[in-house]
Structure 1
Amino acid sequence: MIVINSPATFGLTALLFFVAVFGRYVLFSLAFWWLFKVSLKDQFAHRAVQTRPRKAGQDWREIGWSAITSLIFTGIAVAVILAYQNGYTAIYTDINSYPLLWYPASIIIVLFIHETYYYWLHRWMHRPGVYRWVHKTHHDSITTSPWTAFSFHPIESTLQAIIIPALTFVLPLHITAVGLILMIMTLSSAINHLNTEVYPHDFNRHWLGRWLIGATHHSLHHTQFRFNYGLYFTFWDKWMQTESPDFHRLFGEKTSKRITNDE
């Protein structure tokens, strides 16, 4: 891990982390946009969840908000590094410091806690007195795209960003596990905001797929507002009965075999 011991290394670290955070967002968003909106556009056109045209300039607005989000994520990441250097976090670098089984278990625990935190935070952000000031920026993207993934108001970005760093102070996490969790977060967000359902037919009823959020599930949140508050998984929506009653029907429609003129 980088050692911050001078203003120069502090500035360099901040710059490198911003490039890594914003670059990861751009890389995933651009890859999904190009793959499903350009390269495989014809094959996946019928899987577009929301057909309403996006607003003029929406891509650039989302990229702008995402750059601000990346700055906030960078500031918190640098603070965690400083805390680590001073022995305040539970991050470890020697894989043998804990049983190897702890490595995957720690990732699962963090994802569960993150999902729980986000679900209830998300419901709170939809309260009338909160929504306008915190969450409306994200919902300006009614028809989402991979660029929507990090498009948040700075208050929401901060609230979203604090949970995983907070866990590093109380939960032993290998440094690579932290990186893997952040990659999962970015990948999941890009898929969920793609507005193109990439999962196969009946995956919503598969033993694994029924618990994973995809483009159809999250697009319904952007259009209906009152349902589908989850981040990675559907279990809180199922337990709290906040899953959209239209989800399974719409998923089936979007993933059914396309009928062509040749058939």
Structure 2
Amino acid sequence: MDEVFLNLRPWQVATYGVAWFALLYFGFGGLTWWLSRSLLPRLGYGRQLDPRPLPPGQLRREIGESIVAILIFGIGLLAPWATLKLGWATLAHAPSAGQVALEIAVLFVWNELHFYANHRLLHTRWLRRFHGAHHRSHVATPFSTYALHPVEAMMLGSVPMLPMLLHDFSLFALAALTVLSIALNNLGHSNYEFSSTAPARGWRAASRRHHLHHACYQGNYGFLLDVFDRIAGSVLPWDAADAHLARKRVPPG
């Protein structure tokens, strides 16, 4: 598999990359939408977090912006592919299952740190104009995960570059990073608490934390974990959006 990837032509890398990220986006987005809008509410498990209706055209806008981000992510695979072709990085040869598992764990932690650092930068006065496109979705949906300005998409899409220059990762671990990222992104943007208790605790609290970020704009910059928010003092209390939501009602559309 490694040799197959390395022997692809640039146009093939970009084409397969776009198809891969499109599959992840629409596959996970559709699954999360069905779980949070249909199956789990019927079963009485969990709860919607932001009750405001979506403004007219929000889903259409999110999907349109996400298609641009998918193109950027897919074509952006040429960067890690080129580092391998140029010999700046190499892939692990015949890694053990234990090594692959450890690499996935390392990449998961790196993804959390990379996202937090870039997210904080995107909330500075120099870069927030690029992040504003994503925050047009005051009520998050699974389809807002990739609804990003091209600059933000390029920043977040750079996540594998530094690790690849520091360690010879397996191709499977690098591919798993993209799956983990979209899965966790869908959890955060689901606007649904996948828990029998409220507020949820542990990893299931990620959706509430990111719902609060979209509702309040500042605070809760982390991805799945809140460890970096706790270190930086940017954690929002569970009721941070209550008064805000009471004041701002989006008219039905």
Same fold (TM over 0.5): yes
The residue that corresponds to 1:254 in the other structure is none
* SS of structure 1 residue aligned to 2:107: helix
What SS does the aligned partner of 1:158 have?
helix
**1:26-45 equivalences in 2 (<5 Å):** 26-43=26-43
Q: Does 1:108 align with 2:105?
A: yes
1:155 to 151, 157, 160: 151
**Unpaired segments ≥5 residues, structure 2:** 243-253
Which residue identity lines up with residue 28 of structure 1 in the other structure? Answer: F
Query: What is the CA RMSD across the aligned residues, in angstroms?
Result: 2.5
Task: For 1:33 and 1:51, locate their aligned partners in 2 and report how far apart those are by CA, in whole Å.
Answer: 15
TM value normalised by structure 2: 0.85
Relative CO higher for 1 or 2, CA cutoff 8 Å, sep ≥ 6?
Answer: 2
Counterpart in the other structure of 1:142: 138
Question: What's the CA shift string for 1:78-123, capped at 9, x where partnerless?
Answer: 2322322332213224115xxx543322222222222222212212
Tell me the residue number matched to 2:65.
65
The ranges of structure 1 where at least 4 consecutive aligned residues each deviate by more than 6 angstroms after the TM superposition are: none
What SS does the corresponding residue of 1:88 show, helix, strand or coil? coil
Does structure 2 conserve the Cα–Cα contact (< 8 Å) formed by 1:212 and 1:233?
no
Structure 1 gaps, min length 5: 251-263
Query: 1-side partners of 2:210 and 2:182: how far apart?
Result: 15
Deviations 1:212-260 (A, max 9, x none): 652111000001122110012111112222111126998xxxxxxxxxx
Q: Tell which deviates more after alignment, 81-90 or 138-147.
A: 81-90
After TM superposition, give the deviation of residue 5 of structure 1 in Å: 6.0
Give the letter for the 1:163 counterpart.
Answer: V
Identity of aligned residues (%): 22
State how 1:86-125 maps to structure 2 within 5 Å.
Answer: 86-96=86-96, 101-125=98-122
Distance 1:82 1:120 in 2: 25
Report the equivalent of 1:229.
Answer: 221
- Aligned equivalent of 2:250: none
- Structure 2 distance, partners of 1:44, 1:16, is 40
| Cα pair distance change 1:172/1:12, threshold 3 Å | closer
Is the aligned partner of 1:187 residue 2:183? yes
TM-score calculated relative to the size of structure 1: 0.82
